[in-house]
A and B are shown apart, each in its own frame.
Chain A
């Protein structure tokens, strides 16, 4: 469902998603994402973790459900403002975030 890449030097988590991010997939993803995040945070100071960046790479995503949008919002809250971003979105996906009014907040490019 997604590949997970952690770069400790850059303090950066990158999640590379693939395919359709429908409701079922998205609801499983949050738990999976959190478990990865929590397992990492065991080795890190929690406040320091706020300084990390989370990047969602949607290059291979062709559909997002509202659950996935909620997942993005939840993930954004794990880090400080400006540390969350969505990259490589397809124009249709970009428009979806625009309509949801989250384009700026989630730094969608």
Chain B
């Protein structure tokens, strides 16, 4: 059995390596032609793929999945289309250093159930733009829609002259096989988007990996914020695709002095504060107590479905369920990341206490991911940002859309968000083409005159200390 699996893995990687070999012969123009063709086909399929993803996974809202597909195709394409990713990408006459982009080789990409088609297309585009073949491992519950996205992209790529097997899928559902491919010596890089376990498996495989995991996004509303605007923005973000973006708001933190105003504004904008009893019922179905993780059954579900599952009644048209919590951690299960329209709500006696709560929430499974602040006080924005461990701190912006980039700010649009070393990632950046090339530096001879002007015997002289050597080094002749 294991031998059969290994044979299959070898077969997939052999095809990928052959594709990589051919791909590295492509110039920028040929590469761009492939990327453009894939982008066009994928953008044209944005609606059917969105509907298919929702139908297959039962997660999210198809109209929002369309927007995700637009981000993964059009916004990513517009962002990368003029990037130099082939051959000489820069030449600096002053330093004498030229940079040459080389492809990495076969990239093994794992895609999640929450954003299946958009993540697949985005990864395909950035891989092809960098002349890397891609092998996709879809989440088992999203294999059909992910496969369809890959098929559409692959056909378009072939038509534009891309190497055969530049996009491959591996069968979903076998963890052993996924891990076998992941650890295969011919894999150049793993691009893993998913839960902590997956990211750990990617980093433990022995192959280089860019793995990004979960978040637990705190949002602080400062007293200087425009409250109605802030609430409307949070709702826009938290309800987007029923809260499936890992950068979506998980908790809202305010000072006591504005708490009532914020509460009323949430209610005015059709959000519902759960009673203690109702919150316990929601907690029961939303969070798995032992693992302190969200239940997969409520991911991307609507408020109506969640209310029904929890056995509570909420007003029709309710957009978000809010649970007022007094603490963070295992005694307050709704404080963990929940990718559904459920928000934790905290009030604190003063600004410092509020920020400390944000730190606690940030460190509860979301280190390095994203955070949000609503404020019209730059000093507080910078103070908050320095205290929070997040790759992206989005200001006066819906966090789902803001962290992903490309719409509300100038971050590179990306469906894989680095969480830095705190999240066991190699970068805090939004992953894009620059992370998928090996840059060679051609260094022309440019003598360091200062170093060569120092009398080298002085380095060998015990009587010369740092002051003497510094003088010698900086001396103008």
CB distance from A90 to the nearest CB of B (A): 7
Whether A89 lies near B356 (C-beta < 8 A) is: yes
B170 within 8 A of A: no
- In the complex, the answer to whether B352 meets A95 with C-beta atoms within 8 Å is no
Q: How far is the CA of A80 from the CA of B356 in the complex (A)?
A: 26
Rounded to whole angstroms, the CA-CA distance of A75 and B383 in the bound complex is 31
Q: Are B352 and A98 in contact (CB under 8 A)?
A: no
User: Which residues of chain A from 64 to 83 have any CB-CB distance to chain B below 8 Å in the complex?
Assistant: none
Contacts of B363 on A, CB cut-off 8 Å? 98, 103
In whole angstroms, how far apart are the Cα atoms of A91 and B352 in the complex?
6
Among A89, A92, A95, chain B packs the most CB atoms within 10 A around the CB of A95
Q: Write out, one digit per residue, whether chain B residues 338-374 have a CB within 8 A of any chain A CB (1) or not (0).
A: 0000000000000010011001100100000000000
What A residues does B356 contact at CB under 8 A? 89, 91, 94, 109
Nearest-neighbour CB distance to chain A for B325, whole angstroms, equals 15
Q: Which residues of A contact B355 (CB under 8 A)?
A: 91
**Could you tell me the distance in whole angstroms from the C-beta of B362 to the nearest C-beta in chain A?**
9
A91 and B360 CA atoms in complex are apart in Å by 11
A84 to B356, CA, bound (A): 19
B363 and chain A: residue at smallest CB distance: A98
Task: Give residues 85-103 of A contacting B (CB, 8 Å).
Answer: 89-92, 94-95, 98, 103
Query: Would you give the shortest CB distance from B407 to chain A, in whole angstroms?
Result: 30
Q: In the complex, how many angstroms separate the beta carbon of A59 from the nearest chain B beta carbon?
A: 10
In whole angstroms, what is the CA distance A109 to B360 when docked?
A: 10
B89 touches A (CB below 8 Å): no
Q: Give B151-193 as 1s and 0s: 1 = Cβ < 8 Å from A's Cβ atoms.
A: 0000000000000000000000000000000000000000000
Q: Please, how many angstroms separate the alpha-carbon atoms of A103 and B352 in the complex? A: 16
Q: In the bound complex, how far is the Cα of B356 from the Cα of A98, in angstroms? A: 10
CA distance A105 to B352 in the complex (A): 21
By a CB distance below 8 angstroms, the chain A residues around B312 are none
Q: Which of A89, A90, A91, A94 has the most CB of B within 10 A?
A: A91
Q: Which residue of A lies closest to B358 (CB)?
A: A91
**Interface residue? B6 (CB, 8 A):** no
Q: Does B387 contact A (CB under 8 A)?
A: yes
Q: Please give me the residue from chain B that is nearest to A91 by CB atom.
A: B355
Interface string of A46-64 (1 = CB under 8 A from B): 0000000000000000000
Closest A-chain residue to B356, C-beta based? A94
What residues on A are CB-neighbors of B360 within 8 Å?
Answer: 103
Please give, as numbers and ranges, the residues of chain A lying within 8 Å of B383 by CB-CB distance: 91
Contacts of A94 in B (CB 8 A): 356, 359
Q: Which residues of A contact B359 (CB under 8 A)?
A: 91, 94-95, 98
Residues from chain A with Cβ under 8 Å of B352 in the complex: 90-91
Q: How far is the CA of A77 from the CA of B352 in the complex (A)?
A: 28
Separation in Å of the A64 CB from the closest CB of chain B?
A: 15
A92 contacts which chain B residues (CB < 8 A)?
387
How long is the Cα–Cα vector from A77 to B387 in the complex, in angstroms?
Answer: 29
Contacts of A109 in B (CB 8 A): 356
Per-residue CB contact flags for chain B residues 383-421 toward chain A (1 = under 8 Å, else 0) read 100010000000000000000000000000000000000
Determine the residue in chain B with the shortest Cβ distance to A92. B387
Q: Determine the residue in chain B with the shortest Cβ distance to A90.
A: B352
Contact bitstring B13-47, A, C-beta under 8 A = 1, else 0: 00000000000000000000000000000000000
Given contacts A89-B356, A91-B355, A95-B359, 5 further A-B contacts (CB under 8 A): A90-B352, A91-B383, A92-B387, A98-B363, A103-B360
In the A-B complex, the 3 residue pairs with the smallest Cβ-Cβ separation, listed nearest first, are: A91-B355, A94-B356, A91-B387
18 CB contacts below 8 A, A to B, read: A89-B356, A90-B352, A91-B352, A91-B355, A91-B356, A91-B359, A91-B383, A91-B387, A92-B387, A94-B356, A94-B359, A95-B359, A95-B387, A98-B359, A98-B363, A103-B360, A103-B363, A109-B356
